[in-house]
C-alpha cells in the first residue's frame, strides 16, 4: 500500500497529462493463426480475444514502436499464449496503478496483467501469478559524471521512482527522498533535466536509456522475478499461460525472444 505523497515535478505536468490521456484509450490487436479456434474452458473478457493490460514505456518489456504498436518481450510472450489459445491478442495501455493493484483484472478490463510485474506477497493477495518468466534486479540511471556509484551513494539525493513499483518500496525502506512518477519515461526526463539525481527502476529497462549523457551507475540485486497476473481464481487461464511458458522454454522460443529484446542470451539457472 502506497503511503508516500505523490510528487511530480511541475515541469513534467504537461507530459504526464498527455500520458494519462493516451493510457486510457490506446489499444492494439493482432490476429490469431489461420484455422485456429478458441480453446474451450478458458473464459475471456471478450470472446475470441486475449485482452492484456500493460503500461509502456518499459523497454524492453513493453514500448511503442515507430508504427505506434505496443511491442516488447512481454507482448511477445502473451502473444504466444494467444496463439496457443487460438485467439487474437488485444493490448490495452492503462495506468500502472490499476495493473499492479489488480483493479484492471477484478473489473474485467483485461484478462492478463503483463507489465513487468514483480511477484510480491502484496500483489499475490490481489491476483494470481503465472510461473516466473524473468529474473529482475533494480538499477540506477544517472547523468554521466555523477558521484552516485552505488546504492550507498543515494543518501541525501533525490531519487525518482515509478509509483506502485517494488523500486518505490525499496526506496522507502532505505529512507530515501523518493519522488514519484507515473512511468519510466518521465523518470528519464527528470534525470536529463536535473530535477532528480537518479532514476530507480528495473535494471533491464534502464539500459536502453544509457546514452546521450546518461549511464546506468549500478545494479542492485533484489531476487525479484516477473510473472503474468490474472484475476483470482482464473485457474483455466492460469494453466494455459503456464503451459505456454513451459512450451516456449522447451522449444527455444523464449531464448529467441529474450535475445531479440534484451540483446543478450538468457543466462542458465
- Domain presence at residue 116: yes
The grid cell for 87 is 485467439
Residue 234 and residue 122 share a domain: yes
For residue 233, is it within any domain?
yes
Instruction: Report if residue 211 sits inside a domain.
Output: yes
Contact 89, 49 (CB under 8 A): yes
Tell me the three-class secondary structure of 153-203, residue by residue: HHCCCEEEEECCCHHHHHHHHCCCEEEEECCHHHHHHHHHHCCCCEEEEEH
Interatomic CA distance for residues 157 and 197, integer angstroms = 6
Q: Domain of residue 191: give its range.
A: 137-223
The Cα–Cα gap between 206 and 216 comes to: 7
Q: Is residue 237 situated within a structural domain?
A: yes
| Residue 269 forms part of a structural domain | no
* Same-domain check for residues 99 and 37: yes
Q: Of how many residues is the chain composed?
A: 269
Supply 116's cell numbers. 513487468
126 and 174 co-located in one domain: no
Residue that wins the pLDDT comparison between 189 and 204: 189
Q: How far is CA 74 from CA 28, 52, 105, 116, 134, in A?
A: 14, 10, 17, 7, 10
pLDDT in tens, 193-228: 999 999 998 888 888 888 899 999 988 888 889 999
**Do residues 96 and 129 share a domain?**
yes
Q: Which of 7-16, 25-34, 151-160 has the highest mean pLDDT?
A: 151-160
3-class DSSP assignment, residue 129: strand
Q: What is the largest distance, in Å, between two alpha-carbon atoms of the chain? A: 60
Q: With both helix axes pointing from N to C terminus, report the angle between 184-193 and 13-23 in degrees, rounded to the nearest 10.
A: 170
The answer to whether residues 118 and 91 belong to one domain is: yes
Residue 117 confidence (pLDDT) above 70:
yes
236 falls within a domain: yes
Domain match, 141 and 128 both: no
Whether residues 16 and 121 share a domain: the answer is yes
Residue 163 banded pLDDT, cuts 50, 70, 90: confident
Q: Are residues 38 and 73 in the same domain?
A: yes
Domain presence at residue 1: no
pLDDT band at 248 (very low <50, low <70, confident <90, very high): very high
* CATH code of the domain covering residue 78: 3.40.190.10
- For residue 2, being part of any structural domain is answered with no
Q: Could you give the number of structural domains in the chain?
A: 2
What percentage of the chain exceeds 70 in pLDDT? Answer: 84
Residue 18, pLDDT above cutoff 60: no
126 and 46 inside one domain: yes
14 and 93 in a single domain? The answer is yes
Is the pTM higher than 0.95?
A: no
Is residue 129 located within the same domain as residue 199?
no
Q: What is the pLDDT of residues 20-78, one digit of tens each?
A: 333 333 444 444 433 333 456 899 999 999 999 999 988 899 999 999 999 999 999 99
122 and 145 in one domain? no
Amino acid at each position: 500500500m502506497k503511503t508516500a505523497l505523490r510528487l511530480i515535478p511541475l515541469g513534467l505536468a504537461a507530459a504526464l497529462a498527455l500520458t494519462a490521456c493516451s493510457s486510457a484509450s490506446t489499444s492494439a490487436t493482432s490476429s490469431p493463426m489461420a484455422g485456429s479456434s478458441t480453446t474451450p474452458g478458458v473464459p475471456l473478457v471478450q470472446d475470441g480475444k486475449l485482452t492484456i493490460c500493460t503500461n509502456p514505456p518499459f523497454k524492453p518489456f513493453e514500448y511503442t514502436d515507430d508504427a505506434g504498436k505496443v511491442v516488447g518481450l512481454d507482448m511477445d510472450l502473451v502473444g504466444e499464449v494467444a496463439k496457443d489459445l487460438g485467439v487474437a491478442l488485444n493490448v490495452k495501455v492503462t495506468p500502472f496503478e490499476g495493473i499492479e493493484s489488480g483493479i484492471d483484472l477484478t473489473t474485467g478490463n483485461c484478462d492478463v496483467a503483463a507489465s513487468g510485474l514483480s511477484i510480491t506477497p502484496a500483489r499475490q493477495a490481489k491476483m494470481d501469478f503465472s510461473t516466473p518468466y524473468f529474473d529482475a534486479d533494480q538499477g540506477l540511471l544517472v547523468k554521466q559524471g555523477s558521484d552516485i556509484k552505488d546504492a550507498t551513494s543515494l543518501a541525501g539525493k533525490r531519487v525518482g521512482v515509478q509509483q506502485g513499483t517494488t523500486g518505490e518500496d525499496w526506496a522507502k525502506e532505505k529512507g530515501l527522498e523518493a519522488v514519484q512518477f507515473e512511468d519510466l519515461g518521465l523518470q528519464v526526463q527528470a534525470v536529463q533535466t536535473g530535477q532528480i539525481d537518479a532514476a530507480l527502476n528495473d535494471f533491464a529497462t534502464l539500459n536502453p536509456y544509457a546514452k546521450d549523457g546518461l549511464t546506468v551507475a549500478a545494479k542492485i540485486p533484489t531476487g525479484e522475478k516477473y510473472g503474468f497476473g490474472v484475476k483470482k481464481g482464473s485457474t483455466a487461464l492460469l494453466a494455459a499461460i503456464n503451459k505456454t511458458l513451459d512450451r516456449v522454454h522447451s522449444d527455444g522460443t523464449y531464448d529467441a525472444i529474450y535475445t531479440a529484446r534484451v540483446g543478450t542470451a538468457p543466462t542458465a539457472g
